[in-house]
Amino acid sequence: MRGLLAGFSQAKRPQPMSIEIKIRKNEPIDRALRRMKKKLDRENIIKGTRAKRYYEKPCEKRRRKEKVMAFTAMLRRRYDS
């Protein structure tokens, strides 16, 4: 474990995320998995881990955020009228 987290300082270590899904009485596993996936999706855990998979330069982050902001502004202009 020491070699795996050697690059992280004490403050920047990834914290374990605890998502708890309790299986209800007579509930199929696939339905419980669907509830877990929805919960992960709502909390942006999967999106966050995929984004942190590779390093993204600050200028790329800014460019991506500006692109998203421009798209949402275009949608707002389109549907406000």
The whole-model pTM stands at 0.50
Q: Give the residue from 36, 38, 2, 3 showing the smallest Cα distance to 22.
A: 36
Per-residue pLDDT band at 50 (split at 50, 70, 90): confident
In the predicted model, is pLDDT for residue 63 greater than 90? yes
What separation, in Å, do the N-terminal and C-terminal C-alpha atoms of the chain show?
57
pLDDT number for residue 18: 75
Higher pLDDT, 81 or 27: 27
Q: Which residue has the tokens 């374990």?
A: 16
Q: What share of the chain is helix, strand, coil (3-state, %, to 5)?
A: 55, 0, 45
Average pLDDT over residues 60-77: 96
